[in-house]
Amino acid sequence: MKINAFKFGIACAITASVFWIICSVLVMAMPSMMMSMSGDMVHMRLDDIGWHLTWAGVVKGLVAWFVIVGGAGWLLASIYNRLQ
């Protein structure tokens, strides 16, 4: 079965974008709780670090993740199709 690499890449990019937006909203709504959770996820104490989240940063991150994950999804599907 062949995968449409372009559509798969777009689906990955949209999925990553949705997760980025949800994460950004959670950081804005509950910054200390999200800092604690982030520290737990990377096995570090992040108590002395603070969030520096701006709307411009949210948009830049959204675009960056869209492009990076979309490209990675396209590459993954392309390699998968060549292995068939």
pLDDT at 84 over 90: no
Can you give the residue ranges of every domain in the chain? Answer: 5-82
Pair 78, 5: CB distance under 8 Å: yes
pLDDT at 52 over 90: no
**C-alpha R_g of the chain:** 16
Using a CB cutoff of 8 Å and minimum separation of 24, what contacts does 23-27 make?
Answer: 24/53, 24/58, 24/61, 24/62, 27/51, 27/53
Neighbours of 14 (CB within 10 A): 14
pLDDT at 46 over 90: no
pLDDT at 48 over 90: no
Using a CB cutoff of 8 Å and minimum separation of 24, what contacts does 22-26 make?
Answer: 24/53, 24/58, 24/61, 24/62
- pTM, whole model, 2 decimals? 0.85
Give the pLDDT score at 57.
94
